[in-house]
Amino acid sequence: MRLPRMITVYLAGAAVLLPVAACSSDDPAAGQAPAPSATAAPSEEPEEVKAHPFTGKPYESLKPVLAVKIENTAAGKPQLGLKSADIVYVEQVEAGLTRLMAVFSSRLPAKVGPVRSARISDLHIAPQFGKPAFSYSGAQTKMLPFIAEASLFDVGDTRNPGAYFRQPGRFAPYNLFANTKQLLAKAPKASKAKDIGFTFGDAPAEGGVDKKSYTVKWPAARFTFAWSEAKKQWMIWQDGKKDMAAEGGQLSAPTIVVQYTKTERSEFHDKNDSYTPLVHTTGKGSAIVLRDGKAFKARWERESEESGTTFTTESGEPMNFAPGQVWVALASRKPVIP
């Protein structure tokens, strides 16, 4: 006795297996009318996955942009909220130290800090995001008119004191934190995330040099980014110590961009008469992009302050980042890959 064979019938787009009696040909069995041929339902076009312009990850809707100035010395660590940032900029400030500007949109932590004062370089970075909400705690009096005219919504502690609080267990000025939802509530027209020039996808097939770590130096600060194959992340170290997050764990990112820029003395200075550097983020320059355990030489270009920053390989192809958080270290020394 011959076992029945299985045929495939498509019902509402789903394939169903049904047993039928075996026949020696495609002719219908005696006494039966010819069966209509099975036809597959037309396949639907797969929906295109939208990639977030800041992270390259899928998203459902674009949300407002919030930029926050965050302390970056030992006295202010561990910082809170950085793990949720889409982009983290490392900027040189007075005395050769660094300060961070964290950009949030796809994810928003409940609290962030320590929030510190603004610098002139911030006002030149912000316009590429449109008009973001900008959180900071004070600025030099001479700089206040520049903030008032900048392309941003001022949600600093002077204009929006209710969003800020002093964190117990820390000492001033490193204990000022902010509630992010209250910050954005004061900037209902803040620009939503948009294209800022970043591209995400596969790494270039050529040009990468295997790197276990890469160190970037400022006059009084040093960052080392060490590749973790297990986590597929660059683990972040500052001044020889693990850069830990207040939420727990070491800070890390799948892509690190070391953007070499012109840095010069600005017209501003701190109370100790130490000059404030002005980091030029428009124009053209060299960069090192760290991803997938490799270092790639790249070029960057930003035509105007309203434009995004594009990164390309040495051959002129887009320098794709790995999806996820991006750290941009604005450094002044020329790139070297030993």
What is the residue-averaged pLDDT of the chain?
86
Cβ burial of 130 (10 Å; 0-12, 13-18, 19+) is middle
| pLDDT at position 137 | 96
Q: Say if residue 105's pLDDT is above 60.
A: yes
Q: Say if residue 93's pLDDT is above 70.
A: yes
- pTM for the model stands at 0.84
Name the pLDDT band for 30 (thresholds 50, 70, 90). Answer: very low
| pLDDT at position 276 | 85
Name the pLDDT band for 16 (thresholds 50, 70, 90). Answer: very low
The 10s digit of each residue's pLDDT in 214-244 is 999 999 999 999 999 999 999 999 999 999 9
| pLDDT at position 27 | 42
| pLDDT at position 47 | 61
| pLDDT at position 272 | 65
| pLDDT at position 275 | 79
Q: Say if residue 256's pLDDT is above 60.
A: yes
End-to-end CA distance of the chain, in Å? 75
Q: Which residue in this structure is represented by tokens 């051959």?
A: 315
Distances (CA, A) of 179 to 76, 155, 166: 17, 11, 11
Decide if 210 contacts 293 (C-beta within 8 A).
yes
| pLDDT at position 277 | 86
CA distance 295 to 257: 10
Best mean pLDDT range from 44-53, 237-246, 258-267: 237-246
Total length of the chain: 338
Among left, alpha and beta (phi > 0; psi -120 to 50; other), residue 291 is: beta
Q: Say if residue 119's pLDDT is above 80.
A: yes
List of domains in the chain: 66-331 (3.50.90.10)
CA distance 220 to 242: 17
| pLDDT at position 140 | 84
| pLDDT at position 9 | 35
| pLDDT at position 85 | 98
| pLDDT at position 264 | 80
Name the pLDDT band for 141 (thresholds 50, 70, 90). Answer: confident
Decide if 193 contacts 106 (C-beta within 8 A).
yes
- What is the pLDDT averaged over residues 235-256? 97
| pLDDT at position 333 | 65
The 10s digit of each residue's pLDDT in 263-311 is 888 777 666 667 788 899 999 999 999 999 999 999 999 999 999 999 9
| CA neighbor of 324 nearest in space, from 57, 100, 125, 11 | 57
What is the percentage of the chain residues whose pLDDT exceeds 70?
83
